[in-house]
């Protein structure tokens, strides 16, 4: 966005909020939003640990196992922008409540699954309702907090949950699978949803900021199909070669459809994703930061989970506990990054610094070996990575959604979620492929029947994944350094119009 336009929107926003009082229920609203967001983020990983048990129980093949994860990712990523726009058009409260109820119902269906098909359908429905719930929750956060300092504090909580939710999912998934049954990794959402629904029903007010606009049907179809193509293509790359038509065909189709979507948005009377959202330099840089973080984080969660369980012999519960120091470090630096550092140093310093710290932690993690221990070779690195991600995720999410007009809050929030989801899909596919290639290369010319050789090949695959994750975070450092404006964020406390609660 040109500077003049940015200044004008800032003044317009300030005028719009001049008479608005902060909701006295805002901290309770934050708690409700945090609970709902945790439920959505948990389900990206909570089922992963339970998959072997579910596979044994329901009797599906290794080839089908990935679709339990992919069905959720496909529906979630494809429908996010539609979900965000629905929240803008029909109101955030109904979008939030319908999303919560639908997510809980889909979770109950999955928990009661009597076969593979029923479980996949339930996971896809979870993703669809999550695509309605997640942007409604984030846009509610952006429109509830009017004071700049309080908004920063709220985003530190939300960003910490978004960044650490995957690790919490691993812990909770391990505990529930060990103590009860794999089905409880899905049933637990019903209990969480009851709390979120009750809180949302009582605390949230409804406001239709884009009530006079219309839904962009061609744009919705193009972006849903494009995002589906990208996520499906990258998911296929995990189980097929990159030269498979199911991989490159869907990736090319997804890219073409997203390009067509971008072209259509410049011509549509009521665009699904108004270009004004993308044209602000700091906001565009923040979208990229979220994308890169989503891709790189999977190197930690996925391959370190394998290492802890298969090499160090950790139980699922102990594996989840092992990630908690990273979660703690992330939450502490999330608070410091958004409330102290960002207002003083600006994103051009804080976010590249976070990426650089995460790069160092990931590079350090490549030193693991067969005889390494958790305390010396994993714990310090996890803390460093947590510190780095805490300086990237919450500030980037705050900048990506701050300063937008109220009628665009839902779709801006959906774009953030879409970037994180697509980044995760890219990261999972790329890192899995690179890790497999590294293991194969190591075995070439060696005795593949030797247990020690095979174990060392596995270590090579993990360290390769960590090395490439470090490279992704390193690229994030450079991109953030070049992309963000100098100085502190210019939007004042009134830059985003707010909703009376």
270-283 residue pLDDT tens: 777 777 777 788 88
Please list the ranges in the chain whose pLDDT falls under 70: 1-23, 44, 61-63, 146, 148, 162-166, 206-213, 238-241, 406-407, 410, 489-501
Q: What is the pLDDT of residue 208?
A: 57
* Per-residue exposure over 148-184, b if at least 16 CB sit within 10 Å of its own CB, e if not: bebbbbbbbbbbbbbbbbbbbbbbbbbbbbeeeebbb
Nearest to 465 by CA among 454, 473, 455: 473
Q: What is the pLDDT of residue 62?
A: 61
State if pTM tops 0.85: no
| Coil, helix or strand at residue 497 | coil
Q: CA-CA distance, 339 to 342, in Å (whole number)?
A: 7
In the chain, count of helices (H) and strands (E)? 21, 0
- Decide if 146 contacts 20 (C-beta within 8 A): yes
| Coil, helix or strand at residue 368 | coil
Q: CA-CA distance, 97 to 32, in Å (whole number)?
A: 11
Q: CA-CA distance, 467 to 363, in Å (whole number)?
A: 6
Q: CA-CA distance, 314 to 308, in Å (whole number)?
A: 6
Q: What is the pLDDT of residue 471?
A: 94
Q: What is the pLDDT of residue 492?
A: 40
Q: What is the pLDDT of residue 103?
A: 93
Q: What is the pLDDT of residue 131?
A: 85
Q: What is the pLDDT of residue 354?
A: 94
Sign of CA dihedral 469, 300, 294, 342: negative
| The length of the chain, given as a count of residues | 501
Q: What is the pLDDT of residue 260?
A: 92
Q: CA-CA distance, 45 to 465, in Å (whole number)?
A: 18
Q: CA-CA distance, 272 to 496, in Å (whole number)?
A: 19
- Decide if 295 contacts 423 (C-beta within 8 A): yes
Matching residue, tokens 């029903």:
201
What's 404's DSSP letter? -
Q: What is the pLDDT of residue 80?
A: 79
Nearest to 318 by CA among 237, 386, 268, 374: 374
């Amino acid at each position: 966005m040109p500077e003049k336009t940015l200044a004008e929107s800032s003044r317009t926003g300030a005028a719009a909020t001049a008479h608005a009082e902060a909701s006295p229920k805002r901290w309770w609203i934050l708690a409700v939003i945090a609970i709902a967001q945790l439920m959505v983020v948990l389900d990206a990983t909570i089922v992963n640990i339970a998959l072997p048990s579910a596979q044994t129980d329901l009797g599906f093949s290794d080839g089908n196992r990935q679709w339990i994860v992919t069905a959720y990712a496909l529906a979630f990523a494809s429908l996010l922008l539609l979900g965000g726009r629905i929240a803008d058009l029909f109101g955030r409260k109904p979008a939030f409540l319908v999303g919560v109820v639908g997510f809980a119902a889909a979770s109950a269906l999955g928990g009661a699954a009597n076969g593979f098909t029923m479980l996949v359908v339930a996971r896809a429905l979870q993703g669809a309702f999550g695509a309605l719930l997640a942007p409604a929750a984030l846009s509610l956060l952006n429109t509830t907090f009017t004071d700049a300092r309080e908004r920063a504090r709220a985003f530190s909580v939300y960003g910490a949950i978004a960044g650490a939710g995957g690790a919490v999912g691993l812990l909770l998934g391990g505990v529930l699978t060990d103590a009860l049954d794999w089905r409880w990794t899905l049933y637990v959402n019903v209990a969480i949803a009851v709390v979120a629904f009750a809180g949302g029903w009582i605390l949230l007010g409804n406001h239709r900021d884009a009530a006079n606009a219309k839904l962009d049907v061609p744009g919705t179809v193009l972006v849903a199909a494009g995002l589906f193509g990208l996520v499906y293509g990258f998911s296929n790359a995990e189980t097929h070669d990159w030269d498979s038509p199911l991989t490159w065909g869907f990736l090319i189709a997804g890219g073409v459809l997203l390009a067509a979507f971008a072209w259509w948005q410049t011509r549509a009377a009521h665009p699904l994703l108004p270009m004004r959202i993308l044209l602000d330099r700091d906001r565009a840089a923040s979208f990229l930061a979220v994308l890169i973080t989503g891709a790189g984080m999977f190197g930690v969660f996925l391959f370190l989970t394998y290492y802890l369980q298969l090499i160090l012999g950790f139980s699922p519960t102990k594996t989840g506990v092992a990630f908690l120091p990273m979660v703690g470090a992330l939450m502490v630096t999330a608070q410091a990054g958004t409330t102290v550092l960002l207002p003083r140093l600006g994103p051009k310093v804080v976010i590249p610094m976070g990426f650089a710290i995460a790069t160092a932690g990931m590079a350090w993690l490549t030193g693991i070996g067969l005889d390494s221990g958790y305390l010396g070779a994993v714990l310090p690195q996890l803390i460093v990575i947590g510190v780095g991600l805490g300086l990237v995720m919450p500030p980037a999410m705050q900048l990506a959604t701050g300063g937008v007009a109220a009628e665009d809050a839902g779709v801006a929030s959906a774009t953030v979620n879409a970037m994180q989801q697509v980044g995760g899909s890219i990261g999972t596919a790329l890192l899995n492929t690179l890790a497999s290639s590294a293991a194969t290369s190591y075995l070439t010319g060696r005795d593949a029947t030797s247990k020690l050789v095979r174990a060392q090949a596995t270590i090579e695959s993990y360290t390769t994944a960590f090395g490439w994750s470090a490279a992704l975070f390193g690229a994030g450092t450079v991109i953030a350094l070049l992309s963000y404006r100098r100085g502190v964020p210019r939007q004042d406390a009134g830059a985003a119009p707010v909703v009376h609660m």
